[in-house]
Amino acid sequence: MTLSGRRVLATGAKWLAEKGRGAQRRALPNMSAWRIPMLVPTLEGRTSEYLLECVETNFVSSIGPFVARFEDGLASLLGAPDALACASGTAALHLALVATGVGPGDEVMVSDLTFIASANAALYCGASVTLVDSEPATWNLDPELVIGELERRHRGNLPQPSAIVAVHLLGHPPDLANLLEAARAHGVPVIEDAAEALGAAWVQGPLDGVAAGAAGSLGCFSFNGNKLLTTGGGGALVAADRAVLDRARHLSTQARLSGIGSEHDEIGFNYRMSNLAAAVGLAQLERIETFLMKKRGIAARYDEALAGLDRVSLPPSAPWARRSAWLYTVLLDGRETRDRVLAALYNNGIESRPLWPPLHRQVPYKDAVRIGGAVADNLSDRALSLPSSVTLSPAEQDEVITVVRNAVSSR
């Protein structure tokens, strides 16, 4: 029996009605209706102290010391010259494209398999989107497809895209070394959507030691509530070229000129991060090594427990990359098994989700030009994300593992 998405949701809703509300819910500090939620933040550390400092000093808006401290901390974590804190990851992506010069009529290549924000930013600029299929090894955009296309256009004297947005899906870096070289040769800037990959890095080859987000022309991060580091809502941008980041900074504050006159020299955005959000971000940043250690520990434990199970394949972990392990996602042997495991988890009060449909299956992108085949479709039909919160206890993880094991072997 194949469960439709609606049916699975109905199963989840039934569980919520019966058990999720009431006593269980009140007992949970994370306020989630799920007994074991998929991704919840932890605000351990100095969060309250820093927030109180904002209140007491009256610095709550985008002017205030925490914004600069958070930006400095991020830049040094990433080995980048500077960082720009933004209102969201989506704002960071939009600024990155505008600062790159992407405008109406331009073309941006984006991974087909990603969260929709990666591509929406191009449409905000009036550009069109060309979707690139995944490669099976990392689930990220296939570098060979992109390189082949750049070369084909070069030979045919056809226009090149104005930018390539390379996503680090689920915290695993794409195989970028050759792609960066080809893109540079053809004059195409590469923007990394590292929203899910703070703390990930390349550990071999030409990019050895480079942090995710710091290899291309610009790198974007998200600090939404479910990301590795949260500011409630927020994002950041880093750039190889300081002048490009300065321009993004200018655009993020309505392109307002310095000085006391309220003068603006172009059309900007209100995309700055508030001091309140940055205070939370700084407290989170002080815990980042612990968060990463916990995430990688959770991933290693799932890997060990699920390896060798019939019908289950583990998520990518290339030898040349160190994943952030933001969200642990397995592949089942097909949609039917995936939906069966999902329903079993729901029935046990355990939150899990399928991966997004590829963008070409989302309404705004159904007519987009595509490069490649059906790898993204296949991954999306089989993938299931499992609870991966930093606060997930070994006992809770064992429970998830037991439910997954029983569900895949039941027939």
Ligand X SMILES: *Cc1c(COP(=O)(O)O)cnc(C)c1O
Shortest separation between residue 347's beta carbon and ligand X, angstroms: 28
- In degrees rounded to 5, what are phi and psi of residue 36? -125, 100
How far apart are alpha carbons 371 and 72 in whole angstroms?
39
CB proximity list for 51: less than 8 A, separation 6 or greater = 276, 279, 280
Which residue's Cβ lies closest to ligand X?
89
> Does the protein bind ligand X through residue 191 (CB under 6 A)?
no
The binder of ligand X chosen from 196, 339, 351, 381 (CB under 6 A): 196
> Does the protein bind ligand X through residue 339 (CB under 6 A)?
no
> Does the protein bind ligand X through residue 275 (CB under 6 A)?
no
Number of residues that bind ligand X (CB under 6 A): 14
| CA angle, 255 then 261 then 267, to 5° | 20
Q: Identify which of residues 277 and 404 has a Cβ nearer to ligand X in the complex.
A: 277
Residues 160-179 that bind ligand X (CB under 6 A): 167
Q: Identify which of residues 141 and 244 has a Cβ nearer to ligand X in the complex.
A: 141
> Does the protein bind ligand X through residue 328 (CB under 6 A)?
no
How far apart are alpha carbons 176 and 128 in whole angstroms?
23
How far apart are alpha carbons 189 and 167 in whole angstroms?
14
Q: Identify which of residues 235 and 358 has a Cβ nearer to ligand X in the complex.
A: 235
Stretch that binds ligand X, among 192-200, 315-323, 347-355, 359-367 (CB under 6 A): 192-200
Q: Identify which of residues 15 and 271 has a Cβ nearer to ligand X in the complex.
A: 271
Shortest separation between residue 327's beta carbon and ligand X, angstroms: 9
> Does the protein bind ligand X through residue 222 (CB under 6 A)?
yes
Shortest separation between residue 311's beta carbon and ligand X, angstroms: 27
Burial of 25 (0-12, 13-18, 19+ CB in 10 A): middle
Q: Identify which of residues 96 and 306 has a Cβ nearer to ligand X in the complex.
A: 96
* Total residue length of the chain: 411
Residue given tokens 């929203």 in the structure block: 195
Q: State both tokens at 186.
A: 């053809």
Q: Identify which of residues 239 and 312 has a Cβ nearer to ligand X in the complex.
A: 239
Pairing of strands 128-132, 369-371: parallel
Burial of 242 (0-12, 13-18, 19+ CB in 10 A): exposed
Residue given tokens 């695993």 in the structure block: 172
> Does the protein bind ligand X through residue 133 (CB under 6 A)?
no
Q: Identify which of residues 282 and 344 has a Cβ nearer to ligand X in the complex.
A: 282
Residues 89-118 that bind ligand X (CB under 6 A): 89-90, 114-115, 117-118
User: For the CA atoms of the chain, what is the radius of gyration?
Assistant: 22
First to last CA, the chain: 10
Shortest separation between residue 331's beta carbon and ligand X, angstroms: 19
Q: Which residues bind ligand X (CB under 6 A)?
A: 88-90, 114-115, 117-118, 167, 193, 195-196, 222, 224, 235
